[in-house]
Amino acid sequence: MSRKIVRVSRHVALAATGLLFLVASGCSSSPTPKGRENTASPSQASASPAGSSGMPRPTLGCYADRTLNAPAPFHLSWKLDEGNQHSDWEADVTANTIDGTWTSSSGTRKIHGVRSDASSWQAAFATFPFGSESGHFRMYSNTSAMTSQGRESVNGYDTTKYSIDTSRAGPMDAQVIHMAMGAKGYAKGAAWADTEGCVVQFILDEAYQQPDGSLDIEHRDVSMTKH
């Protein structure tokens, strides 16, 4: 099986296992009692699963919405390394314009979209890999692989920092993760989410086990920064 086919299959597996976990967690989770505030000390916060404090779970789904409907101007940076392939999306986003570049092994392509021109607006938006990224990130945020590390100011936003490390996932969570990434697969990194749960920065290393036992390593460095 080619690496390309394996990569496509992997995204299908991630979507399926993510859905499986959401269904399973929905049966066992309970809402945070009203009026209870997060009074954990920094050491306790480091061991708190994402979403346990009553804050929204970190999500990348907001990137698509904020790019299409920017509440305020920001700079969007999306860097992806897959083996020897590097892609870098950089753009300034406002309520009415998207301007930047997409650089990959095939060269540099200009990104330009104007809301008043539906064709250019949709073309600029479609340049970014929003859909393929948000699904597997959701899988981490719904498991014990992601834990809160306290408050930090990042890129002009007040955020909660989260540590991502699949090696510390509990048995049930680890089973879901390994279904998607292989027995030797792993993810490790950090994410910073604002008060709405939108991840304004994340740095993540992921490894996916191939049928021959080797690992495909991917690195992501994504951020939105207030102007």
Query: Per mean pLDDT, which range of 25-34, 110-119, 213-222 is the poorest?
Result: 25-34
* 142 pLDDT higher than 90: no
Tell me what pLDDT residue 61 has.
Answer: 87
Other CB atoms within 10 A of residue 56 CB: 16
What's the sign of the alpha-carbon dihedral 210, 191, 92, 119? positive
In DSSP terms, which residues pair with 53 in a beta bridge? none
pLDDT tens, position by position, 179-206: 999 999 999 999 999 999 999 999 999 9
What dihedral do alpha carbons 104, 105, 107, 113 form, nearest 10°?
Answer: -20
Tell me what pLDDT residue 45 has.
Answer: 39
What's the sign of the alpha-carbon dihedral 160, 23, 166, 211? negative
Half-sphere exposure of 58 (CA within 13 A, CB side): 28
Q: Which of 69, 81, 155, 161 is nearest to 113 (CA)?
A: 69
Share of the chain above pLDDT 90, in %: 65
pTM here?
Answer: 0.76
What number is the average pLDDT over the span 129-145?
A: 81
Query: Per mean pLDDT, which range of 19-28, 42-51, 142-151 is the poorest?
Result: 19-28
pLDDT tens, position by position, 31-73: 333 333 333 333 333 445 565 556 788 998 899 999 999 999 9
* 115 pLDDT higher than 50: yes
Quote the DSSP letter at residue 166: G
Share of the chain above pLDDT 70, in %: 74
pLDDT tens, position by position, 96-106: 999 999 999 89
Q: Which of 65, 124, 68, 92 is nearest to 224 (CA)?
A: 92
Q: Which of 69, 60, 93, 21 is nearest to 192 (CA)?
A: 60
